[in-house]
Amino acid sequence: MIEFEWPWLFLILPLPLLVRWLLPANTSTQDAALRVPFYNELSPSNTLTIKNHTKGWPLWLGLIAWLLLVAASTRPQWIGEAIELPISGRDLMLAVDLSGSMEAEDFKVRGRTVNRLVATQWVGGEFIQRRVGDRLGLILFGRQAYLQTPLTFDRETVRTLLHEAVIGLAGKETAIGDAIGLAVKRLQDNDINSRVLILLTDGANTAGEVEPIKAAELAAQHGLKIYTIGIGADEMVVSSFFGKQRVNPSADLDEKTLTAIAEKTGGRYFRARDTQQLEQIYHLLDKLEPLEKEAQTFRPTAALYAWPLGLALLLASLLTVAKILGRIK
C-alpha cells in the first residue's frame, strides 16, 4: 500500500490560485496596427492576417507539474507486508583470552595444526553466525579487559572483529576477574533473565584489579549467568635437546576457579581439549532457552518521491524549452 509521510502538505495545492488572486494581473499593451515596410512588394494574394489563438496546454502542463511537485513533497512511500523479526531475548557476551599462552599450537583445524586462538576464532565464528535473534557483544582480555564490540544484532561485525584479534593485543597476562566485571557493567541495565557471558581462557588469573570469585559473586547479584570454557590439550609431544617429550600444555589452567565461577552464577564449566570438543561445547550452548518476548514486526518501506519529482522536473523543462523557442508567451 502507498502512504504519505507528510500528507498535510497537500494543503498547499491551492497556493498558485491564492498567488493569482493576491497579486495584480500583468497587463500588456499591443500596437493597434501592424507596420510592414515592404507592403508594396507583397502581392494581394499574400495578404498577412493575424489570428489570435488561445493555447491552453502550457497551463495544463504547469498545473500537472505543480501537482506532482506537491505529491513528491509529501514523501510517498510503499509499505510492504509485515515481517516478523527473529528476536530471542538473549543478550550474550563473549569474553576471549588473548594472553601469551594462547599461542600454544595444540589444536587442529581441517587437518592443520593451529594455535588456540585460531581454533577459537574458527569455532567461535560459526557459533556467532548461528545466533540469529541474539544481541552479541565481544570482550577481549589479557592483562586488561577491553570491550571490542558492544551488544548488537550485527553478527557479521562481531565475527569479523573476533577474527581480527591477535595474541598479546591486550597484554600477555590473564585478567579473568576484570573481564567478568566489564561484562557485568555492560549487561547490568538489560533484562535480568537474558544475560549470558561465555568466557574462554586457557590459564589462571594472573592480572587485573578484581578477583575472579568476587567478580562472579557480583555477576550473580546482577543475574548474569556465566559459562566458562577451559581450552587446551592435556598432552602434547614437543621436541627438545633430549628428544621428543610429552608435556601437559594446560598445566596452568585453573579449572577449580573456572568451575566455581560457573557454579556461583548458575552456569556450567566446559573443558575443550581439541577442536571437536570445542565445537560440541558451542553446540550445547546453542540450546540455551530463549526468553519469551512480545513478537516484534517490521514493515519494509520504499521511497517513491523520486517518481513524481522526476516527472515534475521533466514537465518544467518542457515548458522552459517551449518558452525559449517562442512557442508560448
Instruction: Check if the beta carbon of residue 125 is closer than 8 Å to that of residue 229.
Output: no
Residue 88: the pLDDT is: 56
From the candidate CATH numbers 3.40.225.10, 1.10.150.120, 3.40.50.410, 3.40.50.300, the one assigned to the domain spanning 91-285: 3.40.50.410
Three cell numbers at 230?
577451559
Is the pTM higher than 0.75? The answer reads: no
- Residue 261: pLDDT above 90? yes
The amino acid sitting at 322 is A
Residue 214: the pLDDT is: 95
Residue 199: the pLDDT is: 95
- Point out the least confidently predicted range of 61-70, 101-110, 214-223, 320-329: 320-329
List, in order, residues 6 or more apart from 58 with CB less than 8 Å away.
319, 322, 328
- Residue 204: pLDDT above 60? yes
> Mean pLDDT highest for which of 66-75, 240-249, 256-265?
256-265
Q: C-alpha angle with apex 107: 283 to 197, nearest 5 degrees? A: 40
**Residue keyed to cell 548458575:** 266
Tell me: the pLDDT tens digits for 123-176?
Answer: 999 999 888 778 899 999 999 999 999 999 889 999 999 999 999 888 889 999
For residue 149, which of 138, 141, 136 has the smallest C-alpha distance? 138
Instruction: Check if the beta carbon of residue 200 is closer than 8 Å to that of residue 172.
Output: no
Residue 36: the pLDDT is: 47
Instruction: Check if the beta carbon of residue 120 is closer than 8 Å to that of residue 277.
Output: no
> Mean pLDDT highest for which of 43-47, 72-76, 106-110?
72-76
Residue 123: the pLDDT is: 92
Tell me: the pLDDT tens digits for 267-317?
Answer: 999 999 888 988 998 888 887 655 445 556 667 788 888 898 899 899 888
